Structure 1
Amino acid sequence: MLRFLGLVMLGAIIGAVAALLAVGFVAVVLWLNDLLLISPRSRMMVESPGVLVVATLAVPALGGLVVGLLHRGIPEQRPHTPADVIAAVQTRRGRLPARAGGLSAVSAMVSLGAGASVGQYGPLVHLGATLGSQVARLLRLGRSNDNVTIACGVAAAIATAFNAPLAGILFAHEVVLRHYALRAFAPVAAAALVGHVIATGVLERGALFHVADPALPAPWEFAVFLAIGGVGALLAGAYLHAILGVGRLSQALPVAPALRPALAGALLGLAALWVPDILGIGQETLRFATIFGAYGSGELVVVLLLKLAATALCLGMGFSGGVFSPALVIGTLFGALCGSLVSELTGAPLETFVFYAVCGMVAVTAPVIGAPLTSLLIVFELTGSYALTTAALASVTLASPIAAQLFGRSLFDIQLRQRGLDLSAGRGRALLRNSPVCDHLTRDCVALDPVTRVAEAIGRLSQADHGEGHLVDRRGRYLGCVTLAELEAAREGGDGREAVGRLPLRQRPTLSPDASLWEAMQLLQEVTGEAIAVVDNADGERFLGVVYEASITRAYLRRSDEMRREEHENG
């Protein structure tokens, strides 16, 4: 009980620190936006059009250059994102490097401050997770508790950023932990609550946007909300694939990786001369998109398409930032466009216009982050409107399943799959795929030279109490496997002086040194015997040793038991 209470207290402390870091991060970004003439308010105060043009062109490009240089200090040469947080938790590595986390946070701060069309919530999530990981490392906590402290940092960051503690709790469980163990719930809830209290009560941070009490939608409008969800799923898929496509294209460009963000910044600045709404986080654009008549239908189409293209350009070319904030803007613009079209078709002002904007918002954002429940809770906590949340539920009902079937659970999962970590089959397979089989490699086996006599081989196997031997020539190459029963049969058919290498050898599948425990488990379905040979094919089929079936089975059961205890223990 004391250890559990200590973990809850630790969660509250992490929540407090994460909230202060999140608020400081956002304050620095806003200060940079004003200083560098990126924010709409600062741009309105500039009297010289020439200064504004120069700032629009130069600031994103120079910001991209700084970002590219910062990324050279990260081993992967890229900023770390929530996908790295999910990978650390789901594979039970549970360690997020402080250096990479710090540089990624600074890189995101520069990206957002210089007007890149990226989001702030992804960097805040990673920053909170890195804090939780460092605290766990400092206190030398175990892997399960490490994952809980990471989730605490994530929950506090979301609760602070959105003024939505319930959404923070759910996001940490739904996206990061992917289980709802009671032992994790209390610390995560404490972190989210403390973060929310600090953000609202102490630092007096306001909500993302405010919605007055709207008129209730007619029953037929819920059918439109469902349709918005279906089309929104396709828009979310286009958004995801645009980011991934630009990323692949950037790899083929004859431009050094450190210079790609600068190139993206220059192109962004050119587009922003025409439509400045695409610069930065886009909170003002989001707020105006919820107001009927603030944008015409044509303007909504232009800003939506350019915002989507600008975000794909910035993220794909190496700017550091999140995908959630741009998805909020893109989704709200899409919903507002749907509301405008309905108004034009009906020929009457749309009193429920904000419902369309919010439905479009969740229809795009929920598939992008793979968190439909979190998206709904954000709507409810931001607006306090049950009617708006119910309408958003209608959109999510179609948006998330359609997007998951067509594109994948989320952008994070797609990115991890491209890195070799497939979470589509659940945590169990992901954990086994990231457990190297070489951890269970041993040379405690009978290795036979091909010239060894049958009788001698039988004696060696009997003395070692093994049922099979592995033939390895004098150059260390693996030739095959022979069982004790096969040797006995050969001795009965001759005098036992025949060389083992002359026998018909059993050709079994082998494992490579970088194989995973999951691959070994799959191979056991094809192999009958006591062990599987591990062979380095890159080094002339050099025999490294064997992995016993019993070791593979024990490791699988141990991993399964660890997950079971992590997900079902109460404290």
Structure 2
Amino acid sequence: MHLLSPVLRLRLLVRRSEIWLVAIASMIGVAAGLAQAAISSAAHGLQQLLFGLSGDERLSAVSGSLGELALFVPLVGGAILVPIAWLVKRNGRRLVDPIEANALHGGHLSFYDSLIITLQTVVSNGFGASVGLEAAYAQMGGAFGSKLSAFLHARRSDMRLLLGCGAGAAIAAAFQAPLAGAFYAFELVIGTYSIAALAPVMAASIAATFVSGWLTDYHGNQLGALPQIDVNTFAALMGLAVVTALFSVALMLLVSETEKLFTRLRIPALVRPLVGGAVLAIAVAFTPFVLSSGHGALQAVLEEPPASLWLLVFMIGAKMVASAVSLGSGFRGGLFFASLFVGALIGLAYFHVLEIVAPGMVADGRVAAFAGMTGLAAAVVGGPLTMVFLTLEDTGSLSLAITMLAVAAVSSVLIRQFFGYSFATWRFHQRGETIRSAHDIGLIRSLTVGRMMRRDIRTARSGITVRTFQRDFPLGASKQVVVVDDAGAYVGMALMPEIYALDAEMLDRPLDEFLALKDAALTPEMSARQAAQLFEDRSSDALAVVTDRSSNQVLGMLSESYLLRRYAEELDKVRMDMSGVDRRPPGRR
């Protein structure tokens, strides 16, 4: 008991004090920073070992030949992923990422599953697949947040918040950009911004940034001063925002169509990484800049942009195809880093075109590159403010960041209006989920008919007369009575006002002739929204609940008024959690 007391006291402190919640978030940030540094070092260490890189050399920035043995590295990586995928499939459980965990599962994220996703991502990136490590960073950061909040028995809202703290902190550590990491958490993982969430999220992001920076010695881009943005440049970059929105749709559809191509070719899912590895061997031989996440190649093109427009067009197409093949064939990773690289290439190509049609409209190609990065990543990732703050923290230019805000806004509006999804939510859509963000729809989904129905109901037997029914069920006893047969199966609903309005000569007729809603009943697994729709379609105040429509065994009854009240209560809880309102009684705050 003495050993448990400090733990119990800590749980109470975290529940009652925002200061302690911030302290816990800082601890999660430290863990996320350590995880990010370890994952990055592991992936880069694999690349050094397998491709013969020097200490500071990046795979995507290699200028010379990688050697003949390097051709087989992606194929070996695909072979390693096959048994991992087989074990996951055998387990029968779908792996969940932080966005889905917060949207559907109230912040519960399996630590074991997160380790599997991280292993798959490190193998994919380390063996040269054209994917980023951000999936592993956010996964492990979120897993630490979820695990610690579960240990502390945190409320659902706090668990979602701490998971977001961990995921955002890991992204902050990766880019050494605490503001970008914090808004990654708000926009993508938590789903909303609130004042109550600001301190924990920022504390986690700052802690992770310091820890990772101390361990990895990251210095960011060294680009020198960038020119101020004038009206002509601003107008030109708005056109670039439209272009990046179009390319973002093309990139997401390309990944989707690649997966469909593997399906049409009837290539088993477990074998696809081998096929993808074989295709990536071509990239090792001819286009090494498309390998891995593209960090090194991005730094190279920003410091010394390619002089040829056609070379830029080729690089854009090659990187998009390599990323689509990698993800479509079963390699694990994200498109965040890839979208930054492709966006920079699109911006530089756009700058070349402008120099032909309107020379001098944009003074520096690097400005167009940053606009391309912001526009494409904001649309693909779904985090416009994340990209704006990343630009601000990377360049230190406020005028550029303000312009990037407009670019991100235009790109995001276009993608939401004409496509409707970011890459993460597009993948959910393909799977049949209706997740459009990390908002907590799981709480509403868990409100099923089975949870709300009344089981203590009186039923009438089918076959009795109206007179017998009126004797057994006096007027005013209830508004409606469920009628069942001898086997307990649902027959219909006797509506009391209608039954008592019958003429005297009808009292000896069978009750079954006057039943309503004979073919309308709810089932326990129905969601509140589905039940509300059935109430509206049938214009009924109450409906019977049956096991299923084949056996029709009556379990209980649910009224429309109770359904709407419970639904409103759950929505109110979600709104209060989103706004940061404290729902505890005043005496316990």
Decide: shared fold, TM above 0.5.
Answer: yes
Aligned counterpart, 2:578: 567
The answer for unaligned runs of 5 or more in structure 2 is 1-12, 583-589
Question: Distance between the aligned counterparts of 1:27 and 1:166, measured in 2?
Answer: 23
Q: 1:7 aligns with which of 3, 11, 21?
A: 21
State the Cα RMSD in Å.
3.0
1:93 aligns with 2:106: yes
Question: Distance between the aligned counterparts of 2:293 and 2:29, measured in 1?
Answer: 24
Aligned counterpart, 2:379: 367
Q: 1:545 aligns with which of 538, 551, 556?
A: 556
Aligned counterpart, 1:176: 189
Does structure 2 retain, via aligned residues, the 8 Å contact 1:480–1:505? yes
Aligned counterpart, 2:69: 54
Offset at 1:393? 2.8
Deviations 1:333-388 (A, max 9, x none): 11111112223445689751100111111111001111111111001101111233
Label 1:465 to 1:437 Cα distance change in 2 as closer, same or farther (>3 A): same
Q: Report the secondary structure of 2:68's partner residue.
A: helix
Offset at 1:530? 4.0
- Tell me which moved more, 264-273 or 285-294: 285-294
Q: 2:466 aligns with which of 454, 462, 483?
A: 454
Question: Distance between the aligned counterparts of 1:264 and 1:164, measured in 2?
Answer: 33
Q: 2:535 aligns with which of 496, 518, 524?
A: 524
- Tell me which moved more, 9-18 or 37-46: 37-46
- Tell me which moved more, 281-290 or 99-108: 281-290
Q: Report the secondary structure of 1:448's partner residue.
A: strand
- Tell me which moved more, 184-193 or 440-449: 440-449
Offset at 1:425? 9.4
Where does 1:39-438 land on structure 2 (aligned, <5 Å)? 41=57, 52-56=67-71, 58-74=72-88, 80=95, 84-91=97-104, 93-200=106-213, 202-345=214-357, 351-424=363-436, 427=439, 431-438=443-450
Offset at 1:78? 8.7
Deviations 1:398-431 (A, max 9, x none): 2111111111141222223344442459947664
Offset at 1:43? 7.5
Offset at 1:262? 1.8
**Please, what TM-score do these two structures have when normalized by structure 2?**
0.88
Offset at 1:86? 2.0
Does structure 1 retain, via aligned residues, the 8 Å contact 2:180–2:386? yes
The count of aligned residue pairs is 565
- Tell me which moved more, 254-263 or 148-157: 254-263
Question: Distance between the aligned counterparts of 1:327 and 1:46, measured in 2?
Answer: 20
- Tell me which moved more, 114-123 or 527-536: 527-536
The answer for unaligned runs of 5 or more in structure 1 is none
Q: Report the secondary structure of 2:543's partner residue.
A: strand
Label 1:190 to 1:460 Cα distance change in 2 as closer, same or farther (>3 A): farther
- Tell me which moved more, 383-392 or 362-371: 383-392
Question: Distance between the aligned counterparts of 2:64 and 2:205, measured in 1?
Answer: 45
AA aligned opposite 1:359: A
Question: Distance between the aligned counterparts of 1:38 and 1:532, measured in 2?
Answer: 70
**Please, what TM-score do these two structures have when normalized by structure 1?**
0.90
Question: Distance between the aligned counterparts of 2:541 and 2:59, measured in 1?
Answer: 73
Deviations 1:503-549 (A, max 9, x none): 35345643344321122233333444442233455635454433232
Label 1:99 to 1:425 Cα distance change in 2 as closer, same or farther (>3 A): closer
Does structure 2 retain, via aligned residues, the 8 Å contact 1:461–1:467? no
Question: Distance between the aligned counterparts of 2:94 and 2:302, measured in 1?
Answer: 32
AA aligned opposite 1:478: Y
Offset at 1:477? 4.1
Aligned counterpart, 1:499: 510
Offset at 1:221? 2.2
Q: 2:456 aligns with which of 420, 444, 460?
A: 444
